[in-house]
Amino acid sequence: MKVYTNYKIFSGNWIDEIPAHWNDVNLKRATQLLYGNSLSKDNRVKGNVPVYGSNGVVGYHNNSITKAPCIIIGRKGSFGKVTYSESKCFPIDTTYYIDQTATKNNLRWVFYLLEALELDAYSKDSAVPGLSREDAYIRKIPHPPLHEQQTIANFLDRQTTQIDALIAKKQRLIELLQEYRTALINQAVTKGINPNVPMKDSGFEWLGEIPENWSIVPLKFLGEITLGKMLTPTNKGGYIEKPYLRAKNIGWESVNHIDDIKTMWFSPYELLKYRLSKDDLLISEGGEVGRTAIWNNELDECYIQNSVHKVTLYNKQNPHYFLYQSQLFGKKGYYDSIVSRVSISHLTYEKLKEIKFIVPPTEEQYAIANFLKHNLKIIDHLMQLTNKEIYHFQEYKKSLTFFTVTGKIDVRDQR
């Protein structure tokens, strides 16, 4: 794209030069940052005025404190995050806002400038991160003439609208791939991969029919279930310090955060009881209950804490088949339906052992697991590629905004 003919040195430290006819000013010269007001949930009156917190809309109210349109900037929490509201709104006291009463500049240009400034990199309070208005005000900014601000804003509106539309299409593609992934697992683990086998009623309304030669069996008859050990922070004498997994380490397929493994003390008996073996199923007892992974000897030696169940299957049954079925239970909300949500949800040993799993003959378990492994790998690869495309579109949008508002490109003749 075109660049300006003449440039001059910029006094700030985040860009080197700006177009020669632009001004070089502090942010305070361009706009005020007005404080949002306190408005608790209990004091909100039903209405259609959006209430903004630092991270976006947090509710609705019947009254506004801004003009329309309005820019909202996070002050606490998601500090520095910039949001644009086309309508009047009510920014709460964790935010600053800018409307036509706070600036004489083009409001859309101010919005794009604030995005490029990346105010979230500046925090004065290390305990509770926040954006200081005084720190923001002294930031140096490039300041084009008002008519050029309008040209820049119009150009970025057009370009970012197109980019956002492309991102939305890619995000919808990911949603469709995720839906297809779940449907594929559902079909394979509940109906099998042979469409011509005789079927029978499963006895469960949500499940419908299953192949005639399959069974439905409580988990307690399929493997040995062990809930992990209560935390022992100190040596009781004769104990040995070993690494252990928490619910945090259990993903929806594999163990994660291995670099954040903690240790505690185990007795010789506990070392035998809680040690993990390859292909053990690991099921989260708390947090996102039922989240299931397979232990693949990520560490030479590891144990479990009492937020994790391990299931060692009997009779050479295929752990990956049961992993996929557990994923389906999670997607269907089955785990959530059997735990109490009065306070913190827990999938206790007593509840887990009674959960009924669909059990094909062993050879079919392996065939289904292999079928799903192959096809899900393709789907997951497509989602990874699509996520990369989304990332590149987002980075391009960010770069385009930066280069435009800092005068690295000249868009005055763009229509």
Residue closest to 249 by CA, chosen among 214, 220, 276: 276
The one-digit pLDDT tens for each residue of the chain (415 residues) are 899 999 999 999 999 999 999 999 999 999 999 999 999 999 999 999 999 999 999 999 999 999 999 999 999 988 899 999 999 999 999 999 999 999 999 999 999 999 999 888 766 555 567 899 999 999 999 999 999 999 999 999 999 999 999 999 999 999 999 999 999 999 999 999 999 999 999 888 878 899 999 999 999 999 999 999 998 878 878 899 999 999 999 998 889 888 889 999 999 999 999 999 999 999 999 878 899 999 999 999 999 999 999 999 998 999 999 999 999 998 888 888 887 555 567 889 999 999 999 999 999 999 999 999 999 999 999 999 999 999 999 999 999 999 999 999 999 998 6
For residues 99 and 67, the answer to whether their CB atoms sit within 8 Å is: yes
| Superfamily the domain 25-142 falls into | DNA methylase specificity domains (3.90.220.20)
> Distance (Å, rounded) from C-alpha 248 to C-alpha 246?
5
pLDDT score recorded for residue 112: 98
Would you say how long the chain is, in residues? 415
pLDDT score recorded for residue 340: 59
In Å, the largest CA–CA distance within the chain is 81
pLDDT score recorded for residue 272: 95
Residue ranges per structural domain of the chain: 25-142, 215-359
Residue closest to 340 by CA, chosen among 282, 292, 283, 286: 286
**CB hemisphere CA count around 91 (13 angstroms):** 28
What is the reported pTM?
Answer: 0.85
How is residue 43 annotated by DSSP?
Answer: G
For residues 90 and 39, the answer to whether their CB atoms sit within 8 Å is: yes
223-260 CB burial, b ≥16 within 10 A, e <16: bebbbbbeebeeeeeebeebebbbbbbbebbebeeeee
For residue 165, the SS3 value is helix
Per-residue pLDDT tens for 223-275?
Answer: 999 999 998 878 878 899 999 999 999 998 889 888 889 999 999 999 999 99
> Distance (Å, rounded) from C-alpha 397 to C-alpha 301?
46
pLDDT score recorded for residue 342: 53
Instruction: Please enumerate in sequence order all residues whose Cβ is within 8 A of that of 97, keeping only pairs 6 or more positions apart, or say none.
Output: 33, 34, 36, 52, 66, 70, 71, 72, 73, 89, 91
> Distance (Å, rounded) from C-alpha 168 to C-alpha 394?
11
Backbone torsions φ then ψ of 50, nearest 5 degrees: -65, 135
| Superfamily the domain 215-359 falls into | DNA methylase specificity domains (3.90.220.20)
pLDDT score recorded for residue 238: 85
> Distance (Å, rounded) from C-alpha 366 to C-alpha 362?
7
152-172 CB burial, b ≥16 within 10 A, e <16: bbbbbeebbeebeeebeebee
For residues 22 and 109, the answer to whether their CB atoms sit within 8 Å is: no
Do 25-142 and 215-359 come out as alike in CATH topology? yes
Rg, Å, the chain Cα set:
29
For residue 138, the SS3 value is coil
> Distance (Å, rounded) from C-alpha 161 to C-alpha 149?
18
